[in-house]
Amino acid sequence: MEHTMSRLGIGTKLIVFSVSYAVFAGIATYLYPEIFIIKIVPYRLLIIAGMILLAIGVPFLIKSAYEFTIGFNRGRLITSGVFSLVRNPIYSAWILFLIPGITLFLKLSHGSY
């Protein structure tokens, strides 16, 4: 049986779990916001950490998407560049840098004090 390459990969399968988790996390945060407040770390440090994560994550995502597009269009497996560091750098950029960075930068995990 021959498989054809898809640009989406397993993304369509992950979206169901991601949306389910996001809905659950949003409801939990709305109902119990005091649980999610980070009191140990100063407020400004959280914003700075968020900006640093975004400053790393955005270029990483752009570079990953560029390398993926070039390799996909050529029909080749990509094993160099950011793909030599991480198997799925586009997912990794979102999970490790962008989602935490956006959350910290927008003060979603800090609360209202």
pTM here is 0.72
109, 103 Cβ separation under 8 angstroms:
yes
Beta-carbon contacts of residue 72 (< 8 Å; ≥ 6 apart): 5, 7
Segments making up each domain of the chain, as ranges: 11-105
What is the pLDDT at residue 64? 94
Q: With 0-12 CB in 10 A as exposed, 13-18 as middle and 19+ as buried, what is 111?
A: middle
Using only the alpha carbons of the chain, give its radius of gyration.
18
Per-residue pLDDT of the chain (113 residues; tens, 9 = 90+): 566 667 767 677 778 888 888 888 888 888 988 887 777 888 888 889 999 999 999 999 999 999 999 988 888 888 888 899 888 899 899 999 998 898 888 765 444 44
